[in-house]
A and B are shown apart, each in its own frame.
Chain A
Amino acid sequence: MYAIQVANLKKNYGSFSALKGISFVVEQGEILSLLGPNGAGKSTTISILCGLIQPTSGEVTILGHSVQNEPMETRAALGVVPQEIALYPDLSARENLNFWAAMYGLRGATRKQRVDETLEIIGLTDRQKDKVSKFSGGMKRRVNLGVALLHRPPVVIMDEPTVGIDPQSRRYILENIKQLNKQGMTVLYTTHYMEEAEELSDHIAIIDNGMLIAYGTHRELIRLVGEQTRIDLTVTLEPEKVIPAWKQVEGISQIDRTDGRISVLATDSNRVLPYLFEATARLGGRITSVDILEPNLEAVFLHLTGKALRD
């Protein structure tokens, strides 16, 4: 049984199609990142999974329960970390957690214990009595995450939980997610930061314009653009002079001129670079700058859509 199964999911707002038939699955105990630019349809997908909006068509199940037909069962199995800080700013961290724990049906000593544990997990035990309005953005994000963990859900959905926070808090949250995943929690993580998707995910689903354009592990996606490294170089000689010499170097598959620079596609940058320096020196010139671009999800997205991920 999949933790999450999405089949041919569509959502229309009038004539606008926010989702155009998305399908993917999330295995139990894995982290799946839903990667895409703003407006791609990530939050709409999340809202349908959480039961906040009805899909136009398609089927969504959480641990085998239909979101549309068994909303209470699916919501009980989910922990949701919304994109915005969904907390009461005039209540303290503890009061917030206490209230949300009550909403999940936790009572008495169990509730107190879970609140204490969650405060420990998010590292805010010392500040538990402070009002959330007095917290930094990162601390608010941590409480926002903590709310979703109170009832120890088997599946957690996180909608861009690290937007707009400092690197230290981001690191804290990412480490928490890894830790929770190690304990068996399934995570569906949406982001437009490819580094986060690369670091966390077992699988990555790339979404754009309401469509799933790629799905697989990090390595599988990289293979879509080939595993070649691009090396951008600047030389003191005319490109016409050096390009023929460089084409003789083994391991180089392609050389192009772009804006006064020379782009080289190679399978192993470490191996070919010494030969490029040597060939240039023999011609009486020298290489003045080198940029090595390892294949990444940005390149995959660029390759698949023709636009940058953060456009």
Chain B
Amino acid sequence: MIIILAIAVKDLLRSLRNTFFLGMAVVAPLLLTGLMYFAFSGMTREKGEMPSLKVGVVNQDSLPPDSPLQEPLGNIIHSVFFDESLRSWISASDYSSDSSARQAVDRREVGVAVIIPPDFSAGFLAGDPQAVVTLVQDPTLSLTPQVVHSILVSLLDGFSGGRIAYQTFIDRRTALGLTFEPTRIISLLNDYQAWYIAFERDLFHSPEQAALRLQTQNSDASQQSGNLAGLMKFVMAGQMIFFAFFTGGYAMMSILQEQEEGTLARLFSMPLRRITILTGKFLAVVLIVTLQGLILMVASHYAFQIDWGTPISALLALSGQVVASTGLGVMLISFIRSTRQGGAVLGGVLATLGMLGGLFTVAVPSAAKLFEQISVVTPQGWVLATWRAALNGEPLSRVWIPFAVCLAFGLVTFGIGSASFRHRFTQIAR
């Protein structure tokens, strides 16, 4: 056992020092992961990072005498910017005067200053078009002014709606010859104001609790293809399987390399059984392919937030991948005569089997059916089926079946490869 481990560790060490091998086994898949990450991260990351918006507020508004409002409208605008729930992305500061707020913008203490004039509520209630809220912005910024502008427009639209409702109510009562109690009007206006503020805030912060609910639905086509995050895990699984088989084959090619370097003959001249040597080399390939799979799983988990399924399902799928890829690697290499021949044969055979196994079309819905039928003849197809079951969170009973086929593929190909190697090495001549 110690000798088997020593051979495996030696092969592992050599592989880790082989730049080309390392590039193909670890760097290339990681680079691919990185490329996919950068290509799709904007679409898959729902929690975008946003810089804090610095807003200065000057609230000089006050209620006119006999106002139906309970508090100045300026206070409502002010409270929105200082709302606790917005503190993570709006940092608001109070300024006492128009000029101090403008200076703060000039000094870039804030990106935008919101100036509410002293008679804003009175002018607004009287329908005075001069009742305006002034927005002073840093000309170099675009996002902060747009956001603040949108908030203000939304608030002012609400105020306008209240005023229209108030005016309509009075007009309707007058047209019907009905009298109205001023206290009743104030009550109605307050009700509208309260409803609108709640509506705005709820719609913004917790849409599911909003008085008016907006429901967005995916189109049929997008539902079929699944969301992007869902697709990424299958794309990654396809890539991982492809590189695992490639790594399995290339790592096993070390036996040809040893034959060419003369070290295999030297190993055979030592008091070791040939099966011990072959097992040591096989163990090295198993370790390398397992390590590679784990690296890719961890990397893609952090890059795409891919959930690889339950630990047992993922373990089964990874084991199936390792056994099938190393088994096929042993078989292919046993029929190859030299490392020079090996590169071309492995590249051609594994790319073809990968395509037939559906590794490159895993995310194409229209191709899935066709490749699903073809893929049953390839070990790659069965490894993909195992991962599909694991990634879809299917019960273990559904993961076991493709895993068992992977295992069978791996053992049969390993058996054929071992027999071929045994035949070959009993005839070794120098």
Q: Give chain A's interface residues, CB within 8 Å of chain B.
A: 13, 43-44, 47, 50-54, 71-73, 75-76, 78, 80, 82-91, 95, 99-100, 102-105, 107, 147
For the A-B complex with A75-B270, A102-B2 known, give 10 more contacts whose Cβ atoms are closer than 8 Å.
A52-B428, A53-B428, A80-B266, A82-B265, A84-B261, A88-B261, A90-B18, A100-B266, A103-B267, A107-B2
Q: In the complex, are the beta carbons of A91 and B269 less than 8 A apart?
A: no
Q: In the complex, are the beta carbons of A47 and B430 less than 8 A apart?
A: yes
Q: In the complex, are the beta carbons of B262 and A82 less than 8 A apart?
A: yes
Any A CB within 8 A of the CB of B39 = no
Give complex CA distance A48, B428 in Å. Answer: 11
Q: Provide the B1-30 mask, 1 if CB < 8 A to any CB of A, else 0.
A: 011001100100110011000000000000
Any A CB within 8 A of the CB of B263 = yes
Using known A-B contacts A90-B14, A102-B6, determine if residue A54 contacts B270 with beta carbons closer than 8 Å: no
Q: In the complex, are the beta carbons of B270 and A91 less than 8 A apart?
A: no
How many interface residues does B have (CB within 8 Å)? 25
Q: In the complex, are the beta carbons of B3 and A102 less than 8 A apart?
A: yes
Q: In the complex, are the beta carbons of A53 and B263 less than 8 A apart?
A: no
A78, A83, A99, A103: the one contacting B272 at CB < 8 Å is: A103
Q: Smallest distance from the beta carbon of A69 to chain B beta carbons, Å?
A: 15
Using known A-B contacts A90-B17, A91-B10, determine if residue A54 contacts B426 with beta carbons closer than 8 Å: yes
Give complex CA distance A73, B270 in Å. Answer: 10
B10, B270, B429: the one contacting A13 at CB < 8 Å is: B429
Q: In the complex, are the beta carbons of A104 and B263 less than 8 A apart?
A: no
Q: Which residue of the partner chain B has the closest CB to A71? A: B271
Q: Which residue of the partner chain B has the closest CB to A81? A: B266
Q: In the complex, are the beta carbons of B262 and A85 less than 8 A apart?
A: yes
Q: In the complex, are the beta carbons of A52 and B430 less than 8 A apart?
A: yes
Q: List 29 contacting pairs A-B, 8 Å CB cutoff, sorted by A.
A: A43-B430, A44-B429, A47-B429, A50-B269, A51-B268, A52-B265, A52-B428, A53-B430, A54-B426, A75-B269, A80-B266, A82-B265, A82-B269, A84-B262, A85-B262, A86-B261, A86-B266, A88-B10, A88-B14, A89-B261, A90-B14, A90-B18, A91-B13, A91-B14, A95-B13, A100-B266, A102-B3, A102-B6, A104-B271
Most chain-B CB neighbours within 10 Å: which of A44, A53, A87, A104?
A53
Give complex CA distance A11, B269 in Å. Answer: 18
Q: Which of chain A's residues have a CB closer than 8 A to the CB of B14?
A: 88, 90-91
Q: In the complex, are the beta carbons of B270 and A103 less than 8 A apart?
A: yes
Q: Which residue of the partner chain A has the closest CB to B266? A: A86
Using known A-B contacts A76-B271, A87-B263, determine if residue A99 contacts B6 with beta carbons closer than 8 Å: yes
Give complex CA distance A71, B273 in Å. Answer: 10
Q: Which of chain A's residues have a CB closer than 8 A to the CB of B266?
A: 80, 82, 86, 100, 147
Q: Smallest distance from the beta carbon of A164 to chain B beta carbons, Å?
A: 14
Which 5 pairs across A and B sit closest by C-beta, in order of nearness?
A86-B262, A50-B269, A86-B266, A84-B262, A102-B6
Q: Smallest distance from the beta carbon of B267 to chain A beta carbons, Å?
A: 7
Q: Which residue of the partner chain A has the closest CB to B17? A: A90
Give complex CA distance A91, B261 in Å. Answer: 13
Q: Would you list which residues of chain B between 289 and 330 have a CB under 8 Å from chain A?
A: none
Q: Smallest distance from the beta carbon of A221 to chain B beta carbons, Å?
A: 28
Q: Which of chain B's residues have a CB closer than 8 A to the CB of A75?
A: 269-272
